[in-house]
Amino acid sequence: MSSTLVVHHLRVSQSETIVWLCEELGVAYDLKCYDREQTLLAPDVYKALSPLKTAPVIEDVDTYQPNPEHIKLAESQACVEWISRKYGQGRLINKPWDAHWKEWLFWWHFTHGSLQPALQMKLLTAALPKDHPGAKVADSRIEHYLQLIDERLGKSQYLVGDDFTAADLIMVFPLTTMRAFIPMDLSAYSNILRYLKEIGERPAYQRTFEKAETKLKPMLNANPPSLFSM
């Protein structure tokens, strides 16, 4: 079976989000998996897939054009929007007239606008003394953001009311698998832990790991095993 849509999954990376999206939407796709090098970096064959050199990358045929064109696309949120709008009737993406639209806008953009930059700063602070001002900035931002997420999840089942949306899809990677690189203790955040437990019960999330991450267990607990140190 061959589909037009190809998802290139770099193992232990953000591209798990795209596999998961396809499973949630029930979209047909071809999955190509790549292991990291011993250096933990993506192999050259993965880097060659897109100018960005990072995961995710999808391939597809752009039938929006008068002359359909074979394309490659990177950036998680861009891939999510492409697949949802082209194959999923825009499902999981809120519209201006939907309830909770302002919450949708905030949480859909918060993960990459605020949370992930702080986590990426944290990666660097491993090289700094614990009391270095830069290390403190990253730690206090992350703590603040986790509190916000936890408060929100104390008020509704998902980030945007009680319906699972693409804002959840984008949020779960930094709270889970990204901890393979950046240890993060979630014990103080009971609502986040409740949320991750329920995410782990979603059949589409389970199928994502069965198909794309056979050696990796979903990191849904307060303290998952630390796989890598950077």
Q: Please give the residue ranges that form the binding site for a second copy (CB under 8 A).
A: 51-54, 62, 64-65, 71, 73-78, 81-82, 85-86, 96-97, 99, 101-102, 105-106, 108-110, 112-114, 116-118, 120-121, 123-125, 127-128, 132-134, 137-138, 144, 148
Measured from the CB of residue 73, what is the shortest distance to a second copy in angstroms? 6
Residue nearer to a second copy on the CB measure, 102 or 197 = 102
- Token pair 């054009």 is found at 65
- What distance in Å separates the CA atoms of residue 114 and residue 80, rounded to the nearest whole number? 19
Supply the minimum distance, in Å, between the C-beta of residue 204 and a second copy. 22
* Pick 56 or 218: Cβ nearer a second copy: 56
Pairing of strands 30-34, 57-62: unpaired
Residue (96 or 203) nearer to a second copy, CB: 96
Q: Least distance (Å) from a second copy to the CB of residue 92?
A: 15
User: For helices 76-87 and 16-25, what crossing angle results, to 10°?
Assistant: 20
Look at residues 222, 211, 152 and name the one whose alpha carbon lies nearest to residue 21.
Answer: 211
Helix (H, G, I), strand (E, B) or coil at 110: helix
Residue placing its CB nearer to a second copy in the complex, 51 or 203: 51
Q: How many Cβ atoms sit within 10 Å of the Cβ of residue 72? A: 14
